[in-house]
Amino acid sequence: MSGKELRCYEDLPPSPVTHDSSLVFKTGSWRTMRPVISKEKCKLCGFCWKFCPDVSIFEDSEGYPAVDYDYCKGCGICANECPFDAITMLEEDAI
Amino acid sequence: MKKTIPDIELMERGHQACLGCGAAHAMRYLLKGLGPKTIAAIPACCWAVIPGVYPYSCMDVPLQYVAFETTGASISGIEAALRAKGKKEGTTVVGWAGDGGTLDIGIQALSGAVERGHDVKYVCYDNEAYMNTGIQRSSATPFGAWTTTTPVGTTKAWKLSPKKNIVEIMVAHDIPYACTASVAYPEDLIKKAQKMKDITGPCFMHIYAPCPTGWKYPPEKTIELARLATDTCIFPLYEVTNGKYRITKRIKDEKKKDVLDYLRMQGRFKSLDEGAIQSIRDHVDFEWARLLRKEECFGEEQ
């Protein structure tokens, strides 16, 4: 402590405030199983987008769901919830 | 692509939750419902770790870390400060705590905040044990579950007491709005969050958030398991508005699934014998019948 008398907010030490986005953490490196979406089987129900805990499913330019492999951790919820079996989980090493 | 829930994402990618984490779903849906004008307070829980290490955060809303037992007091303080500054209008203050931080450690601060009538929203995401510190039993752990502090060995020392009913505790405070929600029903969860936002006064939400690590099941089953918990009436979805009960996901008797389907999916229940399973079944049926009766007696007038 500097021994300075605290009179107002500016006298307080700088508090730790987060200021950067977690997008720097590429959690895709955690993945062992990779979800692959088949556009032929996809009926655009949006279940995979809705149930992704990592927000890693986005809409591509054609309106189909696509996986953001930089952040997808490969939990497999999208493949489990897909009512049309349009998503298959493949081993990361096999690709 | 069909989108049945709002497009806005206030939880960024790159967070540090485990694979298939139910709590990550819960936060994503809650923020979709509450919108960007939200201030959150988070005590020690899994969500104290998930946003990422300093100075990074996955949250696009202001977030304050608080001490374990002070969530209720902290959100009261934030709300009072906003009111004193004249900035409360249109801002939602939300306390986000795990089941240990709500049902055990934070219950007196929560009780105080609700009793004083602050305009705060308190959300408990329930993964049924102290998952962040390594799966110790909490008062939200259900009967029969294995945890590291209720280990199942030759003596069969699984948890012997039932789960605490936190929504009833909140209803006993004459809270304007209390509800349960599940990550398997995001539309319902978001609708309830939007309702909380519009109510002036304390609100409480209890979210069922399965944990693959602590419950010992494969991560892809999170949503399936949460759906099964509602279909078996283990975790019914309902809301209580000014003492009036309304079941938001009605399970018809012929569609009700057996609790065994739910228990067999999880490693934490694998040692249960027939007697214990029957007592769980009886307890679930009793609680469900009681809830139906409550809705009948204290429901909204038709």
Q: What is the three-class DSSP state of B221? A: helix
Mark B29-42 as b/e (b = at least 16 C-beta within 10 Å): bbbbbbbeebbbbb
Q: What is the three-class DSSP state of B33? A: helix
Residue at A38 is within a domain: yes
B222: contact with A, CB 8 A cutoff: yes
Please write the tens of the pLDDT for every residue from B161-191: 999 999 999 999 999 999 999 999 999 999 9
Kind of pairing between the strands at B63-65 and B38-42: parallel
Tokens of B301: 């007038």
Gap between the Cα atoms of B255 and B115, Å rounded: 39
B64: contact with A, CB 8 A cutoff: no
Asked if the Cβ–Cβ distance from A21 to B56 is below 8 Å, we say: yes
Residue at A13 is within a domain: no
The B244-247 sheet, strands edge to edge = B63-65, B38-42, B92-98, B121-126, B203-208, B177-182, B238-241, B244-247
For residue A64, the chain B residues in CB contact (below 8 A) are 1
CB B210 within 8 A of CB B227: no
Instruction: Among B9, B19, B85, B213, pick the best mutation site for testing chain A contact (most A Cβ within 10 A).
Output: B19
The predicted structure's pLDDT at residue B278: 96
Please write the tens of the pLDDT for every residue from B219-262: 999 999 999 999 999 999 999 999 999 999 999 989 999 999 99
CATH of the domain at A56: 3.30.70.20
In this prediction, residue A4 has a pLDDT band, given cuts at 50, 70 and 90, of low
Strands (E), B109-234: 121-126, 177-182, 203-208
The predicted structure's pLDDT at residue A2: 47
- By Cβ distance, the residue of B3, B186, B223 closest to A77 is B223
In this prediction, residue B38 has a pLDDT band, given cuts at 50, 70 and 90, of very high
Residue at A72 is within a domain: yes
B57: contact with A, CB 8 A cutoff: yes
Distances (CA, A) of A54 to A45, A89, B161, B281: 19, 16, 35, 34
pLDDT above 70: percentage of residues in chain B: 99
For residue A59, the chain B residues in CB contact (below 8 A) are 1
B298: contact with A, CB 8 A cutoff: no
Q: Residue A40: pLDDT above 60? A: yes
Q: What is the three-class DSSP state of B45? A: coil
> What is residue B59's DSSP assignment?
B
CB B131 within 8 A of CB B211: yes
C-alpha closest to that of B170 among B179, B161, B158, B162? B179
Tokens of B17: 């939750």
The predicted structure's pLDDT at residue B197: 94
Residue at A10 is within a domain: no
The predicted structure's pLDDT at residue A1: 41
Q: What is the three-class DSSP state of B77? A: helix
Provide the residue range defining the domain that includes A64.
Answer: 26-94
In total, the C-beta contacts within 8 angstroms joining chain A to chain B are: 111
Give B187 or A9, the one with higher predicted confidence.
B187
The predicted structure's pLDDT at residue B139: 94
Q: What is the three-class DSSP state of B102? A: helix
Query: How many domains is chain A built from?
Result: 1
The CATH number assigned to the domain with range B22-298 reads: 3.40.50.970
Please write the tens of the pLDDT for every residue from B111-163: 999 999 999 999 999 999 999 999 999 999 999 999 999 998 887 789 999 99
C-alpha closest to that of B15 among B58, B45, B48, B49? B58
Tokens of A32: 């062992």
For residue A45, the chain B residues in CB contact (below 8 A) are 1-2
The predicted structure's pLDDT at residue A12: 65
Q: What is the three-class DSSP state of B47? A: helix
Tokens of B187: 């539309």
For residue A30, the chain B residues in CB contact (below 8 A) are 19
Beta bridge partners of residue B121, listed in sequence order: B94, B203
C-alpha closest to that of A43 among B86, B1, B200, B159? B1
Q: Residue B302: pLDDT above 70? A: no
φ and ψ at A93, to 5 degrees? Answer: -70, -30
Query: Residue A64's closest chain B neighbor by CA?
Result: B1
Gap between the Cα atoms of B198 and B161, Å rounded: 37
Residue at A12 is within a domain: no
Please write the tens of the pLDDT for every residue from B186-204: 999 999 999 999 999 999 9
For residue A25, the chain B residues in CB contact (below 8 A) are 14-16, 52, 56
The predicted structure's pLDDT at residue A92: 86
Q: Which range among B53-57, B202-206, B272-276 shows the weakest confidence by mean pLDDT? A: B53-57
Q: Residue B291: pLDDT above 70? A: yes
Strands (E), B165-202: 177-182
Alpha helix ranges (H) inside A1-95: 47-50, 77-81
For residue A53, the chain B residues in CB contact (below 8 A) are 17, 20-22, 24-25, 28, 222
Q: Residue A95: pLDDT above 70? A: no
Tokens of B23: 């709590």
Q: How many CB atoms lie within 10 A of CB B134?
A: 12
Asked if the Cβ–Cβ distance from B14 to A21 is below 8 Å, we say: yes
Tokens of B74: 């902290």
CB B211 within 8 A of CB B23: yes
Asked if the Cβ–Cβ distance from B5 to A21 is below 8 Å, we say: no
For residue B19, the chain A residues in CB contact (below 8 A) are 30, 73-75
Please write the tens of the pLDDT for every residue from A12-21: 666 667 778 8
Please write the tens of the pLDDT for every residue from A49-90: 999 999 999 999 999 999 999 999 999 999 999 999 999 999
The predicted structure's pLDDT at residue A18: 73
C-alpha closest to that of B297 among B252, B255, B240, B219? B240
